[in-house]
Amino acid sequence: MEELLNKFGEYLKHEQDASSHTIKNYLADLRQFYGYLGKANSQIANGGKSALNKIDHNIVRGYLATLFNKNNPASIARKLASLRSFFKYWIKTGVMASNPAKDVATPKVPKRLPKFLSVDEVTTLLSGPGNDDVLSLRDKAMMEVMYASGLRVSELVGLDVDNINLGEGVLKVLGKGRKERIVPIGSKAQTAVANYFARREELMDKPNSTKAVFLNRQGDRITPRSVERMVQKYLHTSGIQKEVTPHVLRHSFATHMLNSGADLRGIQELLGHSSLSTTQKYTHVSVDKLMDVYEKAHPKA
């Protein structure tokens, strides 16, 4: 099993240019499938490459049936997508003749509207960090950049110093699938980053010891989990009574841009979405907001 998964992992990394996060999730899903297979059909589970063609759609359906009590539809859909991708790779290499997961129906995933903050709430949240120390300046810069440019947390923590051009007001971002894009950074975010850069070396043992923009107390690249804790800290002190993750700042960026008249395709480019349908979820938020305004303001509503 491990040999099969390792080869598939190498394919994802070198040919598909998948992120380490995606590879980790796919391989975890496949190990779970093989765990089920070890109990349901140990001969196939232990048969290696030669046993792959013995896996049929009934085995895949049986595996999915065991997931429904403990997993939501979105999680099951992802696990099915992992299997499809795995089998597709072995078809490509000539080992498998067909994809046993291809005709298995994907669970219907309910559409969830993105959570976002109002403009006033964002202003309150971003005013949380002070200017007294380098960590406060860093926190201010991180939140300003996330809201100004709509970055994913992974994109934010992955920024290197040479990815930022404060003079031109742009960032070079490495997004999903290692796709690069150029996004603007607003004047307030530029100021916040410049203020942080003025004292950033206080976090390093040696000058220029790392290319990472945002550093932790030890002078290493900050992690997504640390960014999440940082946002929760300022959310608590701001008094905003909402569930807010760093991703909510990205949603807020997109929603506020759309409400202010930005073109949907432009927002798609800024967010780094490969499909316009992914960006279109923000139109539902805008319609909801419009209906709310209508019902409150129209005398005959």
Q: Which residues are designated catalytic?
A: 152, 176, 247, 250, 273, 282
Strand 164-165's sheet: what is its strand order?
Answer: 164-165, 170-174, 180-184
Spatial distance between the Cα atoms of 192 and 137, rounded to a whole number of angstroms: 7
User: Taking the CA of residue 81 as centre, how many other CA atoms within 13 Å lie in the half-sphere pointing to its CB?
Assistant: 11
Which amino acid, 271?
L
Tokens of 221: 């690249």
SS3 212: strand
List the structure tokens of 77: 């859909």
Give the Cα separation of 39 and 181 in Å (integer): 46
